[in-house]
Amino acid sequence: MSVEWDPVRPGETVASELEGLAKYCLEHGAKAISYHITPPFNSQVSKKSSVHHFGYDDGLSKLYRDPQIMENDPIPDFVMHVGHVMTWNQIIGQIELSDKQREFLRLFREKGFIDGVACPLFGPVGRNSYFSIDFDRELSLEDEAIVRPMVDRAQSCHRRICAMIRRKETAEINLSPRESEIIYWIARGKTNPEMAIILGISESSVVTYVRRMFKKLDATDRVSAVINGLERSLVQLD
C-alpha cells in the first residue's frame, strides 16, 4: 500500500513557513533573503510574482518591487533556466547584459549588494520559485557548507508552500467531475464533437459544460482555460 504524505502541518501558513526559513538563514550567516512566489509558466520577475524580503529595509524592498525595476533583474530567470545553484557574480559573468540590466546592477551595487546565492526551487506542475540569499560579501567554494543546508531547507519550505497554494486554489475554484473531464480533454486538443463521443453525451451538453468551466476559470477561450487550469493545478499534461 502506498501512502501520500501531506507536507502541510496543522496551523502552518505561507507567512509562517517563510518566517521560519528566514529565521534559520539569518541565524546561520545570511544578511538577507528573498523568495518569489510566481504562478506556473511565468517569469520570476514578472508583475505576477509576489516577492517576499527578509533582512532588507522597507525602502530597498519597495524599490525592488517596482515592476519597472524588478523586470530588469537578470539573475532570477537565468538561474531558473540553468536549474542549479549559482552565486550572483557567477551568473553576471555569464550573461550578455542589456543596458537596463547593467543599470539595475549598478543601482543595487551602489546600495551594497556584493554577492549572494541564487537558487531555483522546483515544485509540481511548473510551480517553481526563485530563492536568493544575500551574504553581503564575496563568496567562495568554502561557503558551500553554509549554503547547502539553507538551500535544502528552502526547497522543503517551497514544497509545503506549493501544497498550501494548491489547496487554497482548489477550494476557490471547484470544477465538477464533468467539467474536470472537459478541461482534461481540451488540454489534449479534443474538439467538442470528439469529446461528446468520448464522454457519451450530446454535443450541446459539451458546449454547456465548456461554458460553465470557462466562467469558473475566468477564461474566454480554450488556451486561456488550459493555462488557468494548469496554474491552479486543476489540469495536468501527462
Q: Residues 121-171: pLDDT tens digits?
A: 998 878 899 999 999 899 988 899 999 999 999 999 999 999 888 777 767
| CATH C-level class of 173-231 | mainly alpha
CB 130 within 8 A of CB 44: yes
Domain 14-170 bears CATH identifier 3.30.450.80:
yes
Q: Helices (H), strands (E): how many in the chain?
A: 11, 5
In this predicted structure, the answer to whether residue 215 has a pLDDT above a threshold of 60 is yes
**pLDDT score, position 238:** 60
Q: Could you check whether 14-170 and 173-231 share the same CATH topology?
A: no
Residue the block writes with cell 502541510:
8
Tell me what the pLDDT averaged over the chain comes to: 90
Residue type present at position 165: I
In this predicted structure, the answer to whether residue 210 has a pLDDT above a threshold of 80 is yes
pLDDT digits (tens, 9 = 90+) for 55-109: 999 999 999 999 999 999 999 999 999 999 999 999 999 999 999 999 999 999 9
In the chain, pLDDT over 70 holds for what percent of residues? 94
Instruction: Look at 119 and 39; give whichever has higher pLDDT.
Output: 119
**pLDDT score, position 10:** 66
pTM of the prediction?
A: 0.74
Tell me the C-alpha distance between 199 and 185, whole Å.
10
Helix (H) or strand (E) holding 54: strand 50-54
**pLDDT score, position 4:** 46
**pLDDT score, position 40:** 82
Instruction: Look at 7 and 132; give whichever has higher pLDDT.
Output: 132
**Domain range annotation of the chain:** 14-170, 173-231
